[in-house]
Structures are given as structure tokens and as C-alpha cells.
Structure 1
């Protein structure tokens, strides 16, 4: 059954860019510098290859199974039972991802803006807004993202200009001082894990109104993500130096540093704005994917019937998933990179390989 809701090519590109780049701006420089140190900016290059792999696999699978999500065509590739098991795994994956995104948002807001507010308040307000957006449909999510993402960039680019006077290229030396291995660790672990998030194409491509342009717009989105992440990481290192890998929100410290050194103050308010808008876009898309995944696995005709109970379950999940920011940081550093690599890259690649083998066997038999 073909989806009746549709998003435009531009909306898909902006959704992909916002999904990957919206919240990692504050966390990714520190995570990459934790492994690659002053060479974290080099890690951006190989990490982009994982995003390229995700795009290639998802586009190829969507061409073989037009109009179907990864939940639907995995049952055709693996069979009903194995495909259903994979669908259940992806339901679990997205449920945990939304719970983690939500509590990450809450921890950030509490640490910077509302330290006395209960955690559940921050989680509840975000999830209510995201639930309303999902109930309205992917078209509304696309329009919201199309409007909010340029707004974030309008506020962010002046900060990039303000940083020019504070950068110190000497902080990048020695280049490859510890060899290539730390660079690859920074690329394949935190960098690659976040770039792999482009595998959301497996759920969004059936809703694209011009499927033939999917590859082009996805590559443009990846290029924009690469440029954005590269600028963020290299400027963070040139300003903070060795401190970059020791800070949970290193880019926030960059903004605060600009506020101290320059004529502007309290620039972290811009960071909060970027984070909140980015969290809304990311959680909305994830919640939409979770709802349609459940509806397709359990043959529920209208995914909107699931929005309210699933949103409530995600709120409960956000409360118990992590007790504090230290546990969250440990997860982002040590667990998510490997889990993300398997879930977002290796499993879709395995599906493509199995489908290709089945196709060759079928053709040889005929």
C-alpha cells in the first residue's frame, strides 16, 4: 500500500540535515576529540564514508522495493518470521533512541537553563509537541523542519564569523602526532555512529513525492552535514585545544568563550534555542518512524492511533533510561557507536547482500 502523505525533495534534504546535525553540534566535537584529540577534524573525512554507505544501501533497497519501508521489505527478504523479528528489534531500537534523545534534551536544559525543574517536565513538554507533530503527519513534520532549520542556521552562522578572531591554528598541531589509529577511532566510533543516522531513509523514502531525486538530495544533505560538522569540530579545537575532548558540550563552551571575549554576552541562549529546535525535529521524526514501524509490524491500519500511547511510553522510558548525565555520556561514548554501527549500517547492508544473493539464485534457476 502506497503512503498517501508525501514530502518534497527539499523537505527530505532538510530533514536529513537537521536529523544528523541538529543536536550533535554541541556534543560531537568533544566525543571525536576524546579519541582523536587535535586530529578530530581529520576524523570528519572518513566518518562521512559511513553516511555514504547508508545512503547507497537505502537507495538501492528502495529501488528494489518501491513504496515500502525497511520494516516491510525486510519481511520479503528474510521471510515473515525473521522479518518480523527484525521489525521488533527496530521498534525497540527507536523506542530506546527516543527515550535517550528526550532525557539528553532534559539534562541539557537542566544543566544550562532550568536546574531546579523536575526532569519529567522537560521531557513532557518536548514529547507533547513532538506527539502533536507526528499526529498531524510527516507532511507537517517536513514543513516544520523546513521552517525551523534555516532559522537555526541564521543564528549560528554569525557565531562562526565571530569565532574567526579567537581561533588559533597552532592548536591543530602536531597533525597525526599519535598516528592514524586515533583518527580512525574518532571517525568510526562517535563520528561514524552519527553519520549512520542517514539510514532513516529506509522509512522516509516511501513518502518522497519524487523518488528519482532521492539519491541526489541525500548526497547534497550529506555534503552539507560534512561541511557543517567539519567547521564545528575544527573551530572547537582551534579555540579550546586539548580541553575539547574533556567537555560534554564543548561547542557550548566555544559560544560562552565568544561571549566573554567579545561584545556579546549570554550567547548560550542561542545554543539553547538551537538545541531545543533540533531536539524537536529529531524526536518528531523518530517518533513518526516508531509509530509507523509498530503499525506495519502489527498490521495496524492507522499509525495515528498509536501516537498518544507511544508518546506516553517514551516519557516513561526517558525517566528510567539513565539516572544522571554521567551514565548518558558513557552510553554515547562506549555503547552507542557500536550499537549504531550494527543497527544503522551492518543490518541494512546484510539485507542488501541477502536480497542480491536471492536474486542471483532465482535468475540462475530460471
Structure 2
């Protein structure tokens, strides 16, 4: 017959065996959790890989910024040259055109100032705010992940203890397991409170990020509208300057024709003056003034008449000579 002492020793032995078994099970559970954590860490990229990826991303961003700066420089140079040309053409505009130009240039300047304020102040401020929010979210999410992991481990351990308590046949062991389960339940509740706070913090940060993104979208829309207004003012100014340029070109063409006509008139007047001077010079000389060009045939006829006249004179002189001799005799 089993005595009471032997029964107590047997229960004590079974209790120690149960405790050893429970410890082994807990160790196995923790080893399993450790293996899962190790696998999770193995899947995470190494620090060198993350730095290399970040370096590549920064290089791409730098190239994109450089290309954007180059495009903006080209546009700025073109705009500067256009503004210089506009300033020159403005001098040839009418008073009404100048008033229109002044109004359009004032409007354009206001639009450009608003666009510059977006680029230099509002947009960088929103980007900085979003970057800070993302950093806060990263820290809050890391804290939340840690709490979730702790809560999960406690729940698994609590579940294990509850199952052990159900299967335990030793009253003292069962009581101890139940006490431990209740303690763990309190720990889980404390972690849940912290988790709720962390989740609320992440939600608030996400809401702030959404608001910043909406503000950025509104800035993009506002800047596009300002850009359209600037282009509209530029178009109106070009139309006015085109009218001014066309009018000045027409004036220059008219002046050119007038100058050519004046040159021709001046050349003709000089030719007439030179001819007049030459006639006056010939009038005071022994050389007959050639009033007109004598035809060759007319000259030959006159020459023939002159020869005939000389012959007649010579014949007359020959006839008159004997008459004189006879009178003397």
C-alpha cells in the first residue's frame, strides 16, 4: 500500500518532470522564434547594399537636377534675349501700344514672382515638412513593429501555458500556470495600450503626410495656372511687338524707296548741271559748241558744197586776171 509520503514524493517527481518538460517546450518555442527572427534578418539587405542603392538613387537625382538646371539656363538665356529685343522695339511703339505693353509686363512680372515664390519658398518648405514626417513615421513604425513582436511572443507563450494548465494533473502546478497566465495577460494588456498609442501616432503622421501631398498637388496646379498666364501675357506682347515691327519694316522700306528716288533725282540734276557748265565753257572758246550730233551724210554734203564753192572762186579769179592785163596795155 502506498503511503502518503510516497504519494507526495511521486507528485513532487511528476511536478519536476512537468516543469522540465514545460521548460523544454518554452526553449523550443523561443528557439523557433529565434530562427524566424534570424530568417527575417537574413532577408533584410545588408548595410552596404542599402548604402549602394542609396548612392545610386542620389546619383540619378543629381543627374536629373543637372539636366533641369541646364534646361532652365537655356530657357533663361532665350528669355533674356527676347526681353532685350522687346526693350528695343518698345521705343518704336505708339502711346497706346506702350500702355498695353506696360500693363501686360506688370501682370507677367506679378505672375513670375508668384511662381518664384512657389519654387523657392513654398515647395521646398513642403518637401522639408514631408521629409521630417517620413522620419517620424519610420521611428514610430519601428516602435510599433517592436510592440507587435513583443505582443505576439507573449500571446504565444500565454497560449502555451494555458494548454499546459489544461493538461496538468497536479493542482499546485496548475495553479502556478494559471497565475503565470494571468500575469502575462496583464503584460499583454500593457503592451496593447502602447501599441494603440503607436498605431495612433502612425495614423496621425500618415494623415499629415496626406495633407502635405495635397498641398504639393495644389502648388503644382497653381504653378501650372501661373505658367499659362505668363505664356498668355507673352503671346499678347509678341502680337503687339509684331505689329510694331511690321510697321517699322514698312517705314524702312518706304524710306529706302524714297532714298533711291532722291538719289536718282540728285544724279540727274548733277548731270544737267555738268552739261550746263560744259556748254558755258564751250561758248567762250573758238571751238563751236556741239549743240547736237551732226549726221555723217549731212557733213559730206556740206563738204561737197564747200569744195564746189572754192572751185567757183578759183575759176572766177582766173577769168578776172587777163582782163586786167588788157586794160594796162
TM-score (norm 1): 0.22
**Larger relative contact order (CA 8 Å, sep ≥ 6):** 1
Higher helix share: 2
